[in-house]
Amino acid sequence: MHIVGRFAPSPSGRMHLGNILCAMLGYLSAKSKGGDYILRIEDLDTLRCTKDNCKQVLDDLNWFGINFDDINFVKPKNVNISNINNSIYQSERTEIYKCFERFLKEKGLVYPCFCSRAELHAVSAPHLSDGRLIYTGTCKNLTEQERKQKKRKPAMRLAVPDIKISFVDGCIGECTENLKLECGDFIIKRSDGIFAYQLAVTVDDGLMGVTEVVRGHDLISSTARQIWLHELFGFKPPKFYHMPLLVAPDGRRLSKRDKDLDLGVIRQYMKPQKLIGILAYTCGLIENKEDISLDELIKIFSWDKIPNRDLILPEL
């Protein structure tokens, strides 16, 4: 099988070490199998993801040495799309997402949800141990009459069946989630009309022929929902690798707030080969902190070398 990996940044600011590590592992994973690596810009939130930020992210990736391949778009089997849209910017793909929303609506799987944030987060709302909220279906059985009486603009939810979704994660191993009990009906379009992450990502991964997804461990809870959407749309779900997160030596999770770790600062005093070496050492691909190129890493890359625990960033 020809491998297609993807990097899908949400450019709401400067690239961070965590982002570039994700880009690097995704690139190495695809290239070590002779595959392609493609880029998609997840800029649906146009207020936070400005064109300037996009440019900066592309420039950082270029500096780091990651080159992207052309995308071979796939024609969907189950869903009629009005045109093949070749944009890699999600903000320019809304018409495509509408076709997939229509498909779900025609199957009777989508309903409007009028719940406010406060209603959803009510104390009585069921939560999972990781804080995720389970939607109990409050708006599912509203009558047409009741829907008309609602004053607020609704979000659109996908009704999910009581089934278990199982997958073998390339980093974590066997995972299972019961969609109904551990998630509930989930949002595919927000009340402000912006398509939800789950829908846009699945549609794009499917249409862009993505066969493997490398992303942070913190996104694992999205996976069952995305696999379910892939199946509804008639796509083959990609293989997922939920990589460990970068943490500070004291165990604190690094974030965008650590300004000294964004590429705007790091690029001022470091060459890419040095940064690549530090990241490769941090995730166990090489035994010593030394300069190395992406081409050299492709030859020695293996997921078996990446530990299934937080990655502690050494002194830069």
Q: The tokens of 303 are what?
A: 């997921």
**Which residues 75-114 are close enough to bind Zn ion by CB under 5 A?**
113
**Which residues 138-157 are close enough to bind Zn ion by CB under 5 A?**
138-139
CB of 140 to Zn ion, least distance (A): 8
CB of 178 to Zn ion, least distance (A): 20
CB 26 within 8 A of CB 66: no
Query: Which residue lies nearer to Zn ion by CB, 115 or 199?
Result: 115
Asked if residue 10 binds Zn ion (CB under 5 A), the reply is no
**Which residues 243-272 are close enough to bind Zn ion by CB under 5 A?**
none
Residue 271, amino acid: K
CB 52 within 8 A of CB 36: no
Q: Specify burial of residue 173 (Cβ count, 10 A radius: 0-12, 13-18, 19+).
A: exposed
Query: Which residue lies nearer to Zn ion by CB, 20 or 139?
Result: 139
Query: Which residue lies nearer to Zn ion by CB, 96 or 139?
Result: 139
**Cβ–Cβ contacts within 10 Å for residue 74, how many?**
15
CB of 44 to Zn ion, least distance (A): 22
**Cβ–Cβ contacts within 10 Å for residue 17, how many?**
21
CB of 116 to Zn ion, least distance (A): 9
Q: Which stretch binds Zn ion (CB under 5 A): 78-86, 130-138, 214-222, 225-233?
A: 130-138
Query: Which residue lies nearer to Zn ion by CB, 12 or 138?
Result: 138
CB of 165 to Zn ion, least distance (A): 23
Q: Which stretch binds Zn ion (CB under 5 A): 20-28, 131-139, 196-204, 269-277?
A: 131-139
CB of 114 to Zn ion, least distance (A): 6
Query: Which residue lies nearer to Zn ion by CB, 124 or 129?
Result: 124
CA separation (Å) from 311 to 6, 215, 315?
A: 22, 14, 13
Query: Which residue lies nearer to Zn ion by CB, 66 or 115?
Result: 115
Q: Which phi-psi region, left, alpha or beta, contains residue 174 (left: φ > 0; alpha: ψ -120 to 50)?
A: beta
Q: Which stretch binds Zn ion (CB under 5 A): 8-16, 72-80, 123-131, 132-140?
A: 132-140
Binding residue (CB under 5 A) for Zn ion from 8, 61, 115, 160: 115
Q: Residue 189 — φ and ψ, nearest 5°? A: -145, 130
Query: Which residue lies nearer to Zn ion by CB, 15 or 139?
Result: 139
With contacts defined by CB under 5 A, how many residues of the chain interact with Zn ion?
4
CB of 290 to Zn ion, least distance (A): 55
**Contacts from 94-97 at CB under 8 Å and sequence distance 24+?**
94/195, 96/203, 96/207, 97/195, 97/199, 97/200, 97/203
Which residue intervals of the chain are DSSP H helices?
17-32, 51-64, 94-106, 117-120, 144-149, 179-182, 197-207, 223-233, 263-266, 272-282, 294-300
**Cβ–Cβ contacts within 10 Å for residue 137, how many?**
15
CB of 132 to Zn ion, least distance (A): 16
Query: Which residue lies nearer to Zn ion by CB, 149 or 288?
Result: 149
Residues that bind Zn ion (CB under 5 A): 113, 115, 138-139
